Amino acid sequence: MTAVMTESAQSSPQSPRRSTRRLPLALRVLRSPRLARVLFLPAVLIFWLISNKLIADSWGFDSSVLATPIEVWDFMYAEVTGDTVAPANLYQTFGISLRRLGLGFVISMTVGTTLGIGMGLSKAVNAFFHDWVMALLAMPALAWALFLSLILGFGDKGPVWAVVLAGIPFVIVNVREGVRSTPRDLFDMSTAFGVSPLKRIRHVLLPSLFPFLFAAARYALSIGWKGLVIIELFGGQDGAGWTFKFWYDAHRLHGVIGYSMFFVIFALVLENVVLEPISRRVFKWRPSLNQPDIVEEDMDVVKYPALADESLSDRDTIIQEKN
């Protein structure tokens, strides 16, 4: 009985690979997620061209008002090389907006973290701010855009405030939940072993807050960016949102689409070049998401007889990796 179980368990890790090998090459390529990801772009382009044609045919107007993928590409290429008819080129425009975003982000993180910690620690502080944080969460970015440009004018102040007001409620709520969910048992352990309060804050509270601070930063950046573009569009003289509207006013669809693409590229770069590497560094201790979660089953030796046959040191590695 034992022998049969061991044998089946040892062969089982290989069986899925073997079944893939039996499929014909063409079918395997078609089923691969990587190909599906690559295929998305041509699919969009084809859909774009077909709908251009259908719209122009059914409304019967000059199809040159509609932008083709080539026109958008040419526009984006010209912008990237600094050749533009807009008052400021791509780099100046994004420079202005990034400065506003950065300043607003720093303010919303600093003030939001302070308020969040206060609200997480004290019921009275929480009661004082709670309704107003909820009100901020419910406020649409458009309302801030109109309100702030009316009272602060068309300079830098309005956009910076828009970033702060859009992002800060998310920072407050995240940090507050983080403080509330700090591991009590770890604090008790530190107390029982006589660890100093300062060391407890530095090594227990802060690391347990990091995931929440990180989520807060992501929200503050993405929601802040949306708020910024809207206020620049409605009440600005420059910046990414304003330039977007410049192309809209000039009735240049390729400019509108091209600028939206720049927004998308900006978001992707921010995520993959800035946020993701930092998050990987800070959360190195966490088990990665695609790693199989085997520590529980590891105890259940009968279910995984192959594991039971391994030497003790091998199992150690598995558990240490998990931790």
Partner 1 sequence: MADIKISNLHKEFGVGDDKVVALENVNLEISGHVFVSIVGPSGCGKSTLLNILSGIETPTSGSLTITQAGAQAAPGYVFQAARLLPWRTVMDNLLFVQADKSSETRARCQKYLDMVQLGDMINIIRTSCQVVCSSASDWRARWRPMLIFMDEPFSHLDAITARSLRRELHSMWAATKKTIVFVTHDVGEAVELSNRILVFAQGGILKDDINVELDFPRDPSDEAVAVAKANVLKKFEELDLLAT
95-103, 125-133, 181-189, 271-279 -> range binding partner 1 (CB under 8 A): 181-189
Go through the chain and tell me how many residues it has.
Answer: 323
Report the candidate in 153, 158, 167 with the shortest Cα–Cα distance to residue 106. 167
Does residue 190 interact with partner 1 by CB under 8 A? Answer: yes
DSSP state of 139: S
SS3 content of the chain, % helix, strand, coil (to 5): 80, 0, 20
Residue 71 CB neighbour total at 10 angstroms: 17
CA 150 to chain centre: 31
Cβ nearer to partner 1, comparing 153 with 207:
207
The minimum distance between CB 185 and partner 1, in angstroms, equals 5
Which stretches within 81-140 are classed as H helix? 90-121, 123-138
Q: How far is the CB of 285 from partner 1 (least distance, A)?
A: 4
Contacts of 205 (CB under 8 A, 6+ apart): 179, 182
Nearer to partner 1, 19 or 313 (CB): 313
Candidates 87, 153, 155, 207; binder of partner 1 (CB under 8 A) is: 207
Among 71, 74, 271, 298, which residue sits at the site for partner 1 (rule: CB under 8 A)?
A: 298
Which of 186, 270, 275, 294 touches partner 1 (CB under 8 A)? 186
The only residue of 127, 150, 189, 265 in contact with partner 1, by rule CB under 8 A: 189
- The residues of the shown chain that bind partner 1, judged by CB under 8 A, are 185-186, 188-195, 199, 203-204, 207, 285-286, 298-299, 312, 315-316, 319-320, 323
